[in-house]
Structure 1
């Protein structure tokens, strides 16, 4: 009877998430990543989408605001000004992924990078809706998170924030939430940066309604670090970066699952590093998408590559908000380090 109940629950949510047709590789990745909702008592589903939600915290940080930030309240405009918000600054939303929090060390590093650039920073913490191992529930809860974050977005624009100066940065499932925010706006967002957008159960969706897609913003940038594993393989941005090949990062050690998780999280660190220092990275066009690179190689160079032709293609590229808005295509870039942003299993 216990197995029957679990099967029924899983079938219901799988159907809702359009996940009935899975390959053996998909099942293996889900099982190893802890994404199957086998312990249903820990899982939390919001089937009624009311905003604001007590399960989602939108916290404002500003260069001149409280160090711990302040929770925004759409019913109290003073929360904006108590938090140090200025309509004259650029604004960034930062949204974590599955089983994450807004205070994870990687997200704090990214938050501080944007604060160093004089941005208003709004972190979106939806941790009660995305607990481990409840991946299927988390997929459904992305809808409420997107809806409530769109409410905050509208709140900001009502009080003077300019669309062209707002960026949504999302990691993993957070990248898809960024895309879904535009479903609730009268005018789609201007800029989205997707950090290794989540792959499990997403790539098989036929509809773009509940995933990051090209029509969600005027400018979409995607940074791939674990493409084809925990991160999506498709180039879903106008500008796509394959960092160090885009699949497995050379700085990640251990078993294959740990290396994938480490690679997946490093997308946050790479953007933070680029944002802190206005840094440029060496790269070449990768028209065929991300590549498997062996050993210490970080760019697609082989013994058959003409060194003069390769040198003619090599150039420096900005990543993140410093990249030109009209940049297009897929670029393989070389990031030779992952300092100040260590990956842990915690």
Structure 2
């Protein structure tokens, strides 16, 4: 049995971090992805040498050669996870090992080196520990971590690069719904698809998001907030909403049956999605991973059997869906307002993440 050599980090904290007064001004209204903490973590990988030069360093710009392989052939992957201020004032991240494993899966799909899970988690810990004063304490606020990796080799040959850079940056995130949880309207796109069988759908790579932008513009032109993708083969089966997984609720209360599209290789295996399957069962609801067609969705809302629909992801946690629209017509989900099961799941997950509720699954990773 072979073991992965330990990656040691060199700590080089900034001599000029943002002042406490300036930092608090940012935390008063952080928004999302607009401000960044004082530091970042970087690790390099070189063919024949492996992972090396791991360090915490001041947040700074990156210098790229015009012939950088990523700029031409898009060998780049990323993750998103959050650190939460706990009820006792400590800080914890939510399921970082799951993000680390998904990062490895994405790397494998794009022929990139796989960062060991332990190194991924330690890199997150080091950054959060150094910049823990950036973790907000207000309700539903958090510190968003963005690990990413891209090819750094210079050259225009079409092949896997021989050099890569792994980076983690952090950004304080405000409440996704600062004025209360509001349902979104969605457009079911029949012209554009997110991913096809055998493609990169289950990898978290920038190309998938670039391909989604024109579909999102189409949704906006139809007066909708978000786009929902159908499968590439039949343009029939529901897959994802933008960058989020979808859930469908049949019935109500403890008799509710909660269904999410099954993972087929074309959907991103969301960590929030996976967590909600367990939380729903904790609340006594039955869960199922299956196939739901656009016609199933419309008919279920028309006859009342389908009572709620919501999307889930790291940024928003849970987003209710109130209206759906397609080229074949439009319909309302339930009464158009956030459903009882949706909100109960959202509150339970947020309470667990912020230390206000028991963590029976051991998902919270405390950072000393």
- Same structural fold, with TM-score higher than 0.5 when normalized by the shorter chain: no
**Structure of greater relative contact order (alpha carbons < 8 Å, 6+ residues apart):** 2
TM-score by length of 1: 0.31
Q: Larger Rg: 1 or 2?
A: 2
Higher helix share: 1
Structure showing the higher strand proportion among its residues: 2
In the superposition, the TM-score normalised over structure 2's length comes to: 0.29
